[in-house]
Chain A
Amino acid sequence: DIVMTQSPDSLAVSLGERATINCKSSQSVLYSSNNKNYLGWYQQKPGQPPKLLIYWASTRESGVPDRFSGSGSGTDFTLTISSLQAEDVAVYYCHQHYTFPYTFGQGTKLEIK
């Protein structure tokens, strides 16, 4: 199985400041034939299902604010929130769908400082 490791496990950021969450996969999730990274990011607020934020590592889902961005390739990826808002408090998960079984990172809990 591909192991997805996120860092940090938790993060406290001041409102309006930048938040950065990292995700490392145990093997590359870049498919060479189409140059796509099979990596997504999800946001989960308490009591709610996860919500798709980013797919193909850097494509923002429709309706997701542009303060959210994804970057990286191969084995190292980053989710950046450029200016933290109160409604961004949540747990964030990276997810690989390059190979079976699909796997998720352990989650990063984002709080307001």
Chain B
Amino acid sequence: QVQLQESGPGLVKPSETLSLTCSVSGGSINSYYWNWIRQPPGKGLEWIAYISYSATTNYNPSLKSRVTLSVDTSKNQFSLKLSSVTAADTAVYYCARGYSYGHPGIFDYWGQGALVTVSS
């Protein structure tokens, strides 16, 4: 059974960089696309970006200038960095797998989510 687990600081100061890692277990990171999706408290879902096992990336233009993705196939992990954060970036951040059904945008496995609060 594939499992995804987000990890990283739960509190980030304004103007600093949010960093999260998603660890994949029960399956290989190869041959899939790995997405980040966030959800502000009590609100809807926003797709942030994806990275493939071969480091192909695609970003939401609204966040592209602040987002950096990376993948470490040897550790079966991928990571998100979001710079210059503000209170508007406070959200639960999910990692999710894509491409099981032939498209990166079909998310069949999700992590439990990591709440990141931006506050001084």
* B45 close to A97 (CB less than 8 A): no
The verdict on A49 contacting B111 (CB below 8 Å), with A104-B45, A104-B46, A105-B44 known, is: yes
B60 within 8 A of A: yes
Tell me the bound Cα distance from A50 to B104 in angstroms. 16
* A52 close to B106 (CB less than 8 A): yes
Which A residues from 68 to 113 make CB contacts under 8 A with B? 93, 95, 97, 100-107
Complex contacts, B45 vs chain A, CB 8 Å: 42, 50, 93, 95, 104, 107
B32 within 8 A of A: no
Residue from A49, A100, A105, A106 whose CB has the most chain B CB atoms within 10 Å: A49
B58 within 8 A of A: yes
Tell me the bound Cα distance from A38 to B108 in angstroms. 15
Tell me the bound Cα distance from A51 to B61 in angstroms. 25
What are 20 A-B contacts defined by CB distance under 8 Å? Answer: A38-B103, A49-B94, A49-B96, A49-B112, A50-B94, A50-B107, A50-B110, A52-B106, A52-B108, A56-B101, A59-B101, A61-B108, A93-B45, A95-B105, A100-B58, A100-B61, A101-B60, A101-B61, A102-B47, A106-B44
Other A-B contacts than A52-B108, A104-B44, A104-B45, 12 sampled, CB-CB below 8 A, are: A49-B112, A52-B106, A52-B107, A55-B101, A55-B106, A56-B101, A93-B44, A93-B45, A95-B105, A100-B58, A101-B61, A104-B47
